Amino acid sequence: MRLVIGSDHGGVALKSRIMHFLEQTRPDITLINIGTDTDASVDYPDFARKGVSVILEGKADAGILICGTGLGISMMANRFKGIRAAVVHDVFTAEMSKAHNNANILCLGGRTTDPELASTLVRTWLETKFEGGRHQSRIDKLDQD
């Protein structure tokens, strides 16, 4: 699996932590880091756009995007057709974001997500399977004009 990962300055520390976690536990995942990689102030819409582009160009299967709260970066990501970005706060929302919404981008908050919990949220989202069925027809409606 190819996973694009990106953040603004508010999410850069959590991004490093998640990358380390995935490198240690998921050798089957190829990580594509699109930055930012310092705590210098940047604009989250730019990194959302960059991350989304990698998915929409078919160079990644899914992504993780992080800003201070997960809110701004998810708002931007969700402006693109085919993208389902979910901000999750606990194991239940991480699970549902995949099982029911088939989220292809997981969003977290560098200032709001407990760093200890973050790896559990990422693992839950990665390992949960989309249930399909009635949920497929619902997510199809997300992309209707």
Residue 100 annotated as catalytic: yes
Give residues 15-44 in contact with ligand RB5 (rule: CB under 6 A).
44
Q: Which of 9, 100, 107, 135 is catalytic?
A: 100
Q: Do 95 and 122 touch, CB atoms closer than 8 A?
A: no
- Which residue(s) pair with 109 in the sheet? 67
Of all helices (H) and strands (E), which one includes residue 2? strand 2-7
The residue type of 115 is: P
Three-state secondary structure of 72-90 = HHHHHHCCCCCCCEEECCC
Give residues 44-83 in contact with ligand RB5 (rule: CB under 6 A).
44, 67-69, 71-72
Q: Do 97 and 86 touch, CB atoms closer than 8 A?
A: yes
Beta carbon of residue 106, minimum distance to ligand RB5 (angstroms, whole number): 15
Residue 135 annotated as catalytic: no
Which two tokens mark 51? 């991350």
Phi/psi for 49 (5° steps) reads -60, -45
Q: Which is nearer to ligand RB5, 69 or 128 (CB)?
A: 69
Beta carbon of residue 40, minimum distance to ligand RB5 (angstroms, whole number): 12
Q: Which is nearer to ligand RB5, 114 or 143 (CB)?
A: 114
Q: Is 87 in the site for ligand RB5 (CB under 6 A)?
A: no
- Which residues belong to the active site? 67, 100
Interface with ligand RB5 (CB under 6 A): 8, 10, 44, 67-69, 71-72
